[in-house]
Amino acid sequence: MSSRRKSRESALQMLFQSEVNQYPHQVISEIYWQLYPDSGENRNFAQFLLTRCLQNLDQVDSWIRRHAEHWRLERMAQVDRNVLRLAVTELLFADTPEAVVIDEAIEIARRFSTEDSAEFVNGILDSVVREMQSAEAAQPK
């Protein structure tokens, strides 16, 4: 497993716990890293994704809502919703290639949720990326 995948999975687990337990993400992070010690790049990237996601949750959720046809965010499976949130966060705030973000999100959804979830995540993220590319193309250079 790549170190970036491990970081994404760690961020997903912390985001999920934060949502379920309603504890501040700092508390969740502290407990998580005590249970699953890691340092360096893995931990830094996981913390980056988690923090950016929570700091920009309204913006991230807005992107998901626009592209989740016939699905309210609140009705999505919790794992799927949080995989989408982290992937959109990475698309918005990291320099990871779009195809990599989508592929990683699909694999993480497949691992932590269901095969149907992988397809669901792929469809929404593909639509998000198309909108981002259209907006980027429309910007004056």
Find the length of the chain. 141
Where along the chain do its domains lie?
A: 3-138
Helix axes 78-93, 115-138, angle to 10 degrees: 30
Tokens representing 32 are: 């998580």
Contacts of 18 (CB under 8 A, 6+ apart): 24, 25, 28, 50, 54
pLDDT at 117: 95
- Report pTM: 0.94
* pLDDT tens-digit map of 119-135: 999 999 999 999 999 88
Name which of 97, 91, 12, 7 is nearest 56 in CA terms. 91
CA dist 6 → 12, 31, 38, 63, 128 (Å): 10, 17, 10, 25, 24
* pLDDT tens-digit map of 25-58: 899 999 999 999 987 889 999 999 999 999 999 9
The CATH number fitting domain 3-138, selected from 1.10.940.10, 3.30.70.141, 1.10.645.10, 3.40.50.720: 1.10.940.10
Q: What share of the chain is helix, strand, coil (3-state, %, to 5)?
A: 80, 0, 20
